[in-house]
Amino acid sequence: MIGDPAGIGPQVAVKAIASGQVHEVSVPVLVGSSAVVERAIDMTGVKARVRAMKSLETPSDDPGVIDVIDTGALPAGVLPLGEDTEAAGHATAQWLDELDALARDRSFAATIMGPISTGSLKMAGKLDKVISPTPGESYLVLLTGPLRVAHLTDHMSLRQVIDVISADLVAKAIGQVNDAMQSWGIAKPRIAVAGLNPHAMGDEERLAIAPGVERAKAMGIAVEGPVAPDSVFRQCIEGRYDMVLAMFHDQGHIAVKTWGFSGNCVILMGPPYLHMSVAHGTAYDIVGSGKADAAMMLSAMRTCGKLASGQGFEGEMA
């Protein structure tokens, strides 16, 4: 899905597809406005043309042809750049619904959400269309090279995190991460669980995290923890683990953004299909300037193609 039509999503999407690297692992189709995508092609100068479709047809395997499913969600002429609008919010919400429906009926093997604007969605009263991580149901996973981090909790205060962590939640999250990685082509995932406290020495480790890890081990999962949070992310980078389960938002995000921000991408585990996004926003301040970096979108598209076809992570053998 191209993201908010006023942001850089359409531009990074066309740059990524026109590179030819996406077609090495998948056949991409955009969901959005064909007029917005054509404008993005003009602004970026990529060598490609748009093929508009009202519904999914046989997609092209030519990087010079960008297929766009355009059901008319965005009215003609409502194309302002760099600002929130109610029309953009309504269009974004409809595109997200269309994306979900195409994945649920298996027309799409996997989906990617371009950068959205919560401002536009709020104006349209459609913020509920965005899937939010919920402990025990869905998890945010950040990928940047060899560092891969799932988050037990997301936008939650540390006080709340302490109250939420339990052996049941930790064991369930480990199992869900393990199952997802196996479906992506990692036969025997090696998972590390970060501790919450310095050196992983506290009541939370003793009463909740360690018991949850032991339950997961009893299910045959290759998991270690709690591991000291000041060491576990470096150990993942060095290849000891395939994934780290962090306890809270900043614990994982700081590690990822310090190690390698450009080119990272996002998975939201929870929907019954692979659903990804990028780790940047709409960047209204640079829309149309030619400065939009497509590295994250390209990484998301390539990673999505490889994981959806069970080939494992980008750049590594499954």
The percent of residues above 90 in pLDDT, for the chain, comes to 89
Domains and CATH numbers, the chain: 8-131+273-309 (3.40.718.10), 139-259 (3.40.718.10)
Mean pLDDT of the chain: 94
- pLDDT, residue 316, reads 57
Q: Are 201 and 227 in contact (CB under 8 A)?
A: no
Quote the radius of gyration of the chain (alpha carbons, Å): 20
Q: What average pLDDT does the segment 31-52 reach?
A: 96
> Which position has the token pair 């030819």?
20
Give the Cα separation of 76 and 161 in Å (integer).
Answer: 46
- pLDDT, residue 149, reads 98
Give the Cα separation of 25 and 106 in Å (integer).
Answer: 18
The pLDDT confidence band at residue 130, using thresholds 50, 70 and 90, is confident
Tell me the three state secondary structure of residue 15: helix
> Which class for 109: exposed (0-12), middle (13-18), buried (19 or more C-beta within 10 A)?
middle
Characterize the bridge pairing of strands 190-194 and 222-227: parallel
pLDDT at 318 > cutoff 60? no
> Which class for 281: exposed (0-12), middle (13-18), buried (19 or more C-beta within 10 A)?
middle
pLDDT at 132 > cutoff 90? no
- pLDDT, residue 315, reads 61
Give the number of other CB atoms < 10 A from CB of residue 184: 20
The pLDDT confidence band at residue 262, using thresholds 50, 70 and 90, is confident
- pLDDT, residue 317, reads 40
Give the Cα separation of 117 and 76 in Å (integer).
Answer: 20
Give the Cα separation of 113 and 103 in Å (integer).
Answer: 12
DSSP 24: G
- pLDDT, residue 216, reads 98
pLDDT at 82 > cutoff 60? yes
Q: What average pLDDT does the segment 14-29 reach?
A: 95
- pLDDT, residue 268, reads 94
Q: For residue 200, what is the enclosing H or E element? A: none
Buried b (16+ CB within 10 A) or exposed e, 223-238: bebbbbbeebbeebbe
User: What are the beta bridge partners of residue 224?
Assistant: 192
pLDDT at 191 > cutoff 90? yes
Peptide bond into 226 cis (omega under 30): yes
Copy the structure tokens of residue 273.
Answer: 């299909």
